[in-house]
Amino acid sequence: MKRVSLALLALAAVAPLQAQSLLYRPPNLGGTWVPDAGVVQFNFVHRFYVAPGPSHAVVNFPNFTFAAGFGHHVAFGAQFATRSIVGLGNGAQSTNETQVYGRWRVRGAEGQPGFAVAVTPAYNLLAKSVDGEVGVDWTRGRLTLHGAARAMSRRLGQSGNGAAAFAGGFNARLNPYVGVSADVGSFVSPTVLAAWSAAINFVIPGSPHTFSLHASNATSASIQGASQGIASPKDVLYGFEFTIPLHLKRFGPWFHGSPKPVALGAPAGAAIAAQVDMASMKFAGETVTISAGQAVRWTNRDPLEHTVTFDGAEPGSPPLPPNGSYVHRFDKPGTYTYHCTPHPFMKGVVVVK
């Protein structure tokens, strides 16, 4: 079915490359990253280690980020981690961490030279903590530097005290498709192991996707999770991130068709002297006046079929589909009344002088 295939095309990533590129963000910094308006960003981070000994079991640390751009440089989103270090501290009932957040990029734009600043208020459901981050980045040529200041009302595992953390990092772009990045983030006091990461980042050519291969010791991407590293049982996790922007307008045909214009009638040499829209089950402009030899164009703006059917002998239109138009030339002076066959209460008049 055509509408489904359009959506599949969107998922098959034929959209042009836009923002939200890992060439402009290291693995553990949200930075000033805001999806464009009408874009839902889905980022998938997967980290793991292989347990030593006879088992060689793979222990996984998946992370998901969903965020939607609402325009005006504002986004709302959520992050989910199923084996978060935030959940390993005292007082945690679970390792399933959810952080909901908003982000407003106050100035700057991704990939543009100069400074960008974003504020990120958040709530960490696992820590029951109101968190926040101010992120700053500075781009010049191939280099982007990042800094972040973080605050939490209830740091998990530390007797419920508030806490502050700082983070910094960089991206260096080797060419338009490949870059390297690294970052470090740490609580101020009491200190635990700082979080760090190092990555090689790729733009997948001809697609809106970016991809990174990285090493890190952070188990989640939340404000708290990106401020501390895991020390045991393994102090290095390897993994990747994959970014998927979904452009909602590509799914438009699922919700409201936008049929192609269809032109009917249109006798040769007809000068169109009046336009009549068929909208909201009415002929807009019930009476139009033209001269003999001129034409009227009717355009159907409704999502259902209408006709232009004359009450006299004048030939009328076939059913006009949504977005269809019909042109009819009037050669003789007179008053031509007409209606819509499926909706006889829709009436109009053409006066030809």
CA-nearest of 323, 320, 321, 325 to 296 is 325
Of residues 14 and 281, the one with the C-beta less far from Cu ion: 281
Kind plus residue range of the DSSP H or E element containing 130? strand 129-140
Helix, strand, or coil here: 161? coil
Q: Which of residues 84-143 bind Cu ion (CB under 5 A)?
A: none
Helix, strand, or coil here: 255? helix
Stretch that binds Cu ion, among 39-47, 69-77, 218-226, 344-352 (CB under 5 A): 344-352
Please tell me the distance from the alpha carbon of residue 81 to that of residue 191, in angstroms, as a whole number. Answer: 23
- Dmax (CA) for the chain in angstroms is 98
Q: Which of 34, 340, 350, 352 binds Cu ion (CB under 5 A)?
A: 340
Burial of residue 66 (number of CB atoms within 10 Å: 0-12, 13-18, 19+) = middle
Of residues 181 and 300, the one with the C-beta less far from Cu ion: 300
Q: Which of residues 46-85 bind Cu ion (CB under 5 A)?
A: none
Of residues 343 and 347, the one with the C-beta less far from Cu ion: 343
Q: CB of residue 297 vs Cu ion: minimum separation in angstroms?
A: 17
- The 255-294 contact track toward Cu ion, x by CB under 5 A, reads ----------------------------------------
Q: CB of residue 343 vs Cu ion: minimum separation in angstroms?
A: 3
Of residues 153 and 275, the one with the C-beta less far from Cu ion: 275
CA-nearest of 100, 138, 145, 98 to 120 is 100
Q: Which of residues 301-330 bind Cu ion (CB under 5 A)?
A: 306
139: left (phi over 0), alpha (psi -120 to 50) or beta: beta
* Count of residues of this chain found to bind Cu ion when the rule CB under 5 A is applied: 5
CB 180 within 8 A of CB 24: no
Q: Is 347 in the site for Cu ion (CB under 5 A)?
A: no
| Residue closest to Cu ion, measured at CB | 340
Q: Which of 46, 234, 343, 347 binds Cu ion (CB under 5 A)?
A: 343
Of residues 10 and 346, the one with the C-beta less far from Cu ion: 346
CB 24 within 8 A of CB 109: no
Positions that interact with Cu ion (CB under 5 A): 306, 340, 342-343, 346
